[in-house]
């Protein structure tokens, strides 16, 4: 089975500072990776997926197969970015249920 | 479209009891997955159902079981509750098994005393 590691439980940054949330994975084959976000008192929801190559709310994530990483980045953090962020990939090869990392809580300080 | 609906939202049980949680997926979604969310372990996959069949199962004891009905609604059951079963149980649906985007419910928060 695949595995996702998010090494930081908590990340605090000042408003306007750059943000990088780390995600490393183990996977055999070509993974499809996701970032999910959970704002306070809201449902867990998809933020972005690597195959779409989109920038959502200013966030981007690049898949680095050599380093097996999928770090989430934003050049200038906003207070509304404070949330719990989860990296995820399929449990097995192919489109199977997602397995999530333990999450990183991002706190943006005004 | 209505989102994923989970009931009950909160419940308190005592050790040894059993509990049944319900999940109604988004209309048209045939795949339902269940996750256990705790502060220490994050989200852990329990099982996934598609068209009334369990397709995948996570690493949980047999006390955890589930099923899916013909209308895609799903239930999960935990028997002989333990203190460690206290958690937020999340249900998520997706349209089929060929897309990774999950749509989550608000969860059922179970407290075991």
Name every residue whose Cβ is closer than 8 Å to that of residue A28 and which is 6 or more positions away in sequence. Answer: A2, A93
* Contact of B93 with B26, CB cutoff 8 Å: yes
Weakly modelled stretches of chain B, pLDDT under 70: 1, 96-100
What is the per-residue pLDDT for B54? 92
The overall average pLDDT reported for chain B is 93
Q: Are strands B108-112 and B10-13 parallel, antiparallel or unpaired?
A: parallel
Which of B42, B48, B101 is facing A97, going by the closest CB pair? Answer: B48
| Interchain proximity B43–A86, CB inside 8 Å | yes
Q: pLDDT tens digit string along A56-96?
A: 899 999 888 888 999 999 999 999 999 999 999 887 766 67
Partners of residue A44 in chain B, C-beta under 8 Å: 43, 90, 92, 104
The overall average pLDDT reported for chain A is 90
């Amino acid at each position: 089975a695949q595995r996702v590691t998010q090494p930081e439980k908590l990340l605090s940054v000042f408003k306007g500072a750059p943000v990088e949330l780390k995600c490393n994975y183990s996977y055999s084959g070509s993974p499809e990776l996701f970032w999910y976000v959970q704002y306070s008192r809201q449902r867990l929801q998809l933020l972005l997926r690597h195959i779409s190559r989109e920038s959502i709310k200013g966030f981007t994530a690049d898949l680095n197969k050599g380093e097996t990483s999928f770090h989430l980045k934003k050049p200038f953090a906003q207070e509304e970015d404070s949330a719990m962020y989860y990296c995820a990939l399929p449990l097995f090869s192919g489109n199977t249920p997602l397995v999530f990392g333990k999450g990183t809580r991002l706190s943006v300080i005004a | 479209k209505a989102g994923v609906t989970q009931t009950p939202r909160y419940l308190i049980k005592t050790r040894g009891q059993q509990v049944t949680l319900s999940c109604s997926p988004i209309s048209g979604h045939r795949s339902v997955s269940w996750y256990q969310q705790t502060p220490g372990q994050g989200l852990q996959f329990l099982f996934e159902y598609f068209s009334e069949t369990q397709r995948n199962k996570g690493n949980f004891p047999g006390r955890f079981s589930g099923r899916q009905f013909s209308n895609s609604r799903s239930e999960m059951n935990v028997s002989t509750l333990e203190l460690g079963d206290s958690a937020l149980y999340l249900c998520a649906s997706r349209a089929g098994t060929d897309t990774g985007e999950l749509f989550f419910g608000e969860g059922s928060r179970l407290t075991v005393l």
